[in-house]
Structure 1
Amino acid sequence: MAAIIINKASVEDLETIKEIGIQTFSETFAESNSEEAMKTYLEQSFNSEKLRSELNNPDSHFYLAWEEDVPVGYLKLNSGLAQTELQNNATLEIERIYVKKSHHGQKVGQLLYDQALETAKNLQKKYLWLGVWEKNPRAIRFYEKNGFEVFGNHTFRLGDDEQTDLMMKKNLDE
């Protein structure tokens, strides 16, 4: 495996983020959800207009993981009003750490997480937080290994299906 490089993404990376977002979300969740619900979610979450708006939002931070010239994952962070919940100035949300299935177990997620941690420290945040599907034990273990603890839950809607996400946070002052 070639070295993985993490680069800050910009609006010029829109198509790359769109493709990797659709691929990784599908690889992870298609098996557990209806085709119709997946199609609707992907169209709503990864359409070019929405992604362009997010990439242009100064409170959202995107990073791409590259293996040579191939994108293998990405990270989306939100601060301030871009956060999906909490919207506390002391917090930074990890909205997405997405890694292609072909690169699971190769530390790409850890490198993206390390970038999130560095960004949080640079922005002088006190907490990192995220929501993770309760039926995604691999991701839950990853976050627990990195010092996150469950502090609540919220509903994530995929089509007509209401799913439960565990809310997890990590205190950065410890």
Structure 2
Amino acid sequence: MPFSTRIAQLSDADALSAVAEQTFALASPPDASVLALTTYIETQLQPAHFRHHLNSLTKRLRVLQCEGQIVGYSLLDSAPDPLDIAQAENLPELSRCYVLPAQHGAGAAQRLLDDTLAQVQGAVRLTVNEQNARAIRFYQRNGFCKVGEALFVCGPELHRDWVMVRE
């Protein structure tokens, strides 16, 4: 399938939210509660949240398209919150890189990651749930190494993430 990426636009906010709702649980631990997932989606992944990101000077959203449809997105934050991990401080963060399940295994995530990281000078960090073995392997294949751990607040739950850096 031919995939392409582009910088997201304000008019993409509804589609970005729809993709986020369909993919967020895949990046979460399998035992995450419905309440936790729903709370996070309702408080962080609505169209208004994406419009806020699109208007931010420190965040860059990129969409992945297939046949004119948005099937994934990435969010790069040039000024993320501190993690108190020396190797990861003051680095831009790939805070989201999600692709719809129907596109998994087709090179979609690789295209999205490649095009997103092409915009970064130097090292970059990300966090990934410690139980998301598929994503961890993907990031390791792309040069990311674990440098520590962090807690991710998901509604009423705390999930453990790996902090990974690519030099």
TM-score (norm 2): 0.90
1:135-161 deviation line (CA, Å, top 9, x unaligned): 000000001001111111100122222
**CA–CA distance in structure 2, aligned partners of residues 163 and 27 of structure 1:** 13
The equivalent of 2:32 in structure 1 is: 33
**CA–CA distance in structure 2, aligned partners of residues 35 and 52 of structure 1:** 25
The equivalent of 1:107 in structure 2 is: 107
| Unaligned residue ranges in structure 2 (runs of 5+) | 84-88
Structure 1 30/152 Cα, relative in aligned 2: closer, same or farther at 3 Å? closer
The equivalent of 2:138 in structure 1 is: 142
1:81-113 deviation line (CA, Å, top 9, x unaligned): xx133562xx22100110101111111111111
Q: Hey, which bits of structure 1, 4+ residues long, moved more than 4 A?
A: none
| Unaligned residue ranges in structure 1 (runs of 5+) | none
User: What RMSD, in angstroms, separates the aligned Cα atoms of the two structures?
Assistant: 1.6
**CA–CA distance in structure 2, aligned partners of residues 96 and 28 of structure 1:** 10
**CA–CA distance in structure 2, aligned partners of residues 94 and 60 of structure 1:** 10
Tell me the amino acid that sits aligned with residue 126 of structure 1. Answer: G
SS of equivalent residue, structure 2 residue 118: helix
The equivalent of 2:63 in structure 1 is: 64
Q: Which moved more, 1:28-37 or 1:154-163?
A: 28-37
1:155-174 deviation line (CA, Å, top 9, x unaligned): 01222221110000011xxx
Does residue 168 (structure 1) correspond to residue 138 (structure 2)? The answer is no
**CA–CA distance in structure 2, aligned partners of residues 71 and 22 of structure 1:** 13
- The aligned runs of 1:7-156 (5 Å cut-off) are 7-29=6-28, 31-80=30-79, 83-85=80-82, 88=90, 91-120=91-120, 125-156=121-152
More contact order relative to length (CA 8 Å, sep ≥ 6): 2
Tell me the amino acid that sits aligned with residue 58 of structure 1. Answer: L
**CA–CA distance in structure 1, aligned partners of residues 51 and 64 of structure 2:** 19
**CA–CA distance in structure 1, aligned partners of residues 106 and 82 of structure 2:** 31
Tell me the amino acid that sits aligned with residue 73 of structure 1. Answer: G
Q: Which moved more, 1:8-17 or 1:19-28?
A: 19-28
**CA–CA distance in structure 2, aligned partners of residues 55 and 17 of structure 1:** 11
Identity of aligned residues (%): 31
**CA–CA distance in structure 2, aligned partners of residues 85 and 119 of structure 1:** 21
Q: Report if the CA contact (8 A) 2:13-2:48 is conserved.
A: no
Q: Report if the CA contact (8 A) 1:30-1:38 is conserved.
A: no
Q: CA deviation at 1:27?
A: 4.4
TM-score (norm 1): 0.87
Q: CA deviation at 1:50?
A: 2.3
Q: CA deviation at 1:39?
A: 1.0
